[in-house]
Amino acid sequence: MEPSVVTLHAGELVMLIPALVLALGFECANGFHDTANAVATVIYTRSLPPWLAVIWSGLCNFIGVLASSGTVAFAILNLLPVELVTNVGTPIGFSMIFALLLSALIWNVGTWYRGIPVSSTHSMIGAILGVGLMNSFLTTGSLMGGANWKIALNVGMALLFSPVVGMLGAGLLFLLLKALVRQPDLYRPVEQKPPPWWIRGILCITCTGVSYAHGSNDGQKGLGLFMLILAGIIPGVYAVNPAVAGGSTAQLSIASQKAAAIIQPHTAGVAVEAQAVTDTLMNFLKADGIFSNKIFPALAQVNREISGTLAQHKSLAQLTEDQRIALRKEIFLTSGTIAKLDTMKKFSADEDVTMTKYKSALDKTIKFIPFWVKMAVALALGLGTMVGWKRVVVTIGEKIGKAHLTYAQGASAEMVAMITIGLASKYGLPVSTTHVLSSGIAGTMVANRSGLQRATLRNIILAWVLTLPACIFLGAMFFAAALQLLFHVFHLS
């Protein structure tokens, strides 16, 4: 069987082009805020000229994005309720995409214009929650099914505690430096000339680390956005991984058959009507979904459909657009159900090994990031930093503490930010470069008894507090408006 030829329709291009432009705009705004924090100290201390610092930071971001696993990207998208994630190529999917992009982008650009360092992560999470809550309200009249609340709690805890870690860690590291390193130049306010070479070396190293860590963590949010757009608007190409080779497809087929042998004994002879299979698993995967004797029979049926599709095609490239969309949904439901059953201890130890391997193989077919997407996101981050770094750099260097930044304070804050963000990336936790670094600067000011500027601190904290509710509101309103537009103006169904 020859590979299926996928043709992009005019309607898909009309949706795709502005969506990708908005996504790149969001990444540029991410560069205004988050990447600007990575170069703030090295530029402010004149360790590197702005143009060189931005280029170097962009390169490190680029490497960080390329080296990222995608875990953070898909952790963010997992905040969305299951019915939205599986609605690729539909008016609901289109509305979700544009609502997420517009709400996060508007808030990011607005706060950047005011020179307030806020979190692109918070903006995106707020938009996701807003879309999910509005979708739940419109479909069920309730808000409870509007998000994956367990994942939302984990993400919220990471975002809440990372600034505390940044503030305390940077403050303690600064005090340790003062006790151990007796170099007066380190603790003087930045002068109008480059610092000694060894200070420049320290600050360049910390800038490198933060930039790389930012790319490996914050950059992944853009990767997730891109893949949501591609799978939602041109599912004929990106609903499943087009790079999966025929050999991998055959291995996945074998893994599916092994999983079927494990699932079948758990069905206990219970049958589920064909039209109820999808709803059974989708309801189970919701935050309030509970286990019943219909879960394993429904899982067995969806797994049989996956096996049947794989058996009929030597590679995923041979699938038609409709088959790709159907397979993506089946894989998403199967992978999610296996994960939830695993947390409920529904498999024996031996069964768990096989099912975990099967889930991992399934995830590779729908959780993937092409190289060109990584490159586009990395370039957008660098461009955003180059265009808009100055407002945030001035805030970080001069407006947080009552005294201007010292070399040791900058190095301490960036060292802690580098470690904190790097560890978060390793464990798939989305954190904010902005929050960690600006909190670290504040921590060093307190440790040095320099004092904090109340007006700036008030504005930053207010922006942090308002970001989530503001973006939740914007996401909900844009989602509702986009649904009305697509259904009533374009008469989509």
Q: What's the pLDDT tens digit per position in 114-161?
A: 766 667 777 888 888 888 888 888 877 777 666 667 767 776 777 778
Residue 325 sits in the same domain as residue 392: no
What are the φ and ψ backbone dihedral angles of 452, each rounded to 5 degrees?
-120, 145
> Are residues 341 and 391 both part of a single domain?
no
Number of domains in the chain: 2
Residues 359 and 374 in one domain: no
* pLDDT value of position 145: 66
User: Is 78 part of any domain?
Assistant: yes
Cβ proximity of 131 and 479 under 8 Å? yes
Q: What is the largest CA-CA distance in the chain?
A: 79
Question: Do residues 222 and 201 share a domain?
Answer: yes
Phi first, then psi, for residue 401 (nearest 5°) are -95, 160
Residue 1, pLDDT score: 46
Domain-located, residue 352? yes
* 60 and 105, same domain (yes or no): yes
179 shares its domain with 195: yes
430 and 310 share one domain: no
Last residue of a domain, one of 366, 387, 402: 366
What pLDDT, on a 0 to 100 scale, did the predictor assign at position 17?
85
Q: Would residue 159 count as lying in a domain?
A: yes
For residue 357, the enclosing domain spans 244-366
Q: Is residue 1 part of a domain?
A: no
Residues 301 and 220 in one domain: no
Residue 298 is predicted with a pLDDT of 93
Residue at which a domain ends, from 366, 394, 425? 366
Give the integer Cα–Cα distance in Å for 166 and 182: 24
331 within some domain: yes
SS3 for 406? strand
Last residue of a domain, one of 343, 366, 389: 366
**The pLDDT value given to residue 297:** 93
Q: Which residues of 150-181 are buried (b: 16+ CB within 10 A; e: fewer)?
A: ebbebbbebbeebbebbbbbbbebbeebbeee
Same-domain pairing of 129 and 217: yes
Instruction: State how far the Cα of 375 lies from the Cα of 64, in Å rounded to an integer.
Output: 11
pLDDT, one tens digit per residue, over 249-267 is 888 888 999 999 999 999 9
How many whole angstroms separate alpha carbon 409 and alpha carbon 188?
10
Segments of the chain scoring below 50 in pLDDT? 1-5, 492-493
Question: What pLDDT does residue 330 have?
Answer: 92
pLDDT at 4: 47
Asked if the structure places residue 14 within a domain, the reply is yes
Exposure of 60 by Cβ count < 10 A (0-12 exposed, 13-18 middle, 19+ buried)?
buried
| Any domain includes 239 | no
What is the Cβ-side half-sphere exposure of residue 290, based on CA atoms within 13 angstroms?
Answer: 1
Residues 316 and 355 in one domain: yes
Same domain, 140 and 201: yes
Residue-wise pLDDT for 181-205, tens only, equals 887 877 877 776 777 788 788 888 8
Does a structural domain hold residue 222?
yes
On whether both 287 and 216 belong to a single domain, the answer is no
